[in-house]
Amino acid sequence: MDNERKQQFLDLIDNDIREFGFHVTYVLEEKDFTPFGYSTGLYKNFGIPEVFVSGLPNGLTNTLITNYAKIFKENQLTYNQKVDTLIDRFLVYLIPVESISLKEKVLASARLYDGYDFESVQIIYPDLNGCFPEDKNYDYDMEIFGSIKNE
């Protein structure tokens, strides 16, 4: 990415944070690379952890992150508890994640916070058969950066 395009992208992030309180960055899928998306600005502006989603398409990732922001800026987070409030298509749960473990992923957030001194969570979702990562038959390519719950 040339310097002009990079600056335009950084300006877009800054403008979204000013206007909406946060920005969603999505990194597209490539061969042997799992796509992901994440928020920037939620911790600073609303006091809730930044959120990370791995392995879902752009539209679904944006929906989950936007709904997370709407719901949890006014409600208490719950970890490792399946909820149907972020999306009506399937259950999800949140796990805490050390932001430094996302170091190579959440570059816009690292820029905003001048490092990795911010809280993060990851949204965990089921595979196409309804199995979660802690289930024996789970089959999906989500990268998991925190500790999943044990049932």
From 74, 143, 134, 70, select the one nearest 106 (Cα to Cα). 143
Q: Is 151 a domain residue?
A: no
The side-by-side arrangement of strands in the sheet containing 120-124 is 23-27, 36-40, 50-54, 120-124, 93-97
Q: Is 81 a domain residue?
A: yes
Q: Is 105 a domain residue?
A: yes
- For 85, the domain range is 3-124
Q: Is 136 a domain residue?
A: no
Q: Is 149 a domain residue?
A: no
Number of domains in the chain: 1
* N-to-C CA span, the chain: 44
Q: Is 40 a domain residue?
A: yes
- Residue pLDDT, tens place only, 36-88: 999 999 999 999 999 999 999 999 999 999 999 999 999 999 999 999 999 99
Question: What is the pTM assigned to this prediction?
Answer: 0.93
Q: What percent of the chain has pLDDT over 70?
A: 97
Q: Is 70 a domain residue?
A: yes
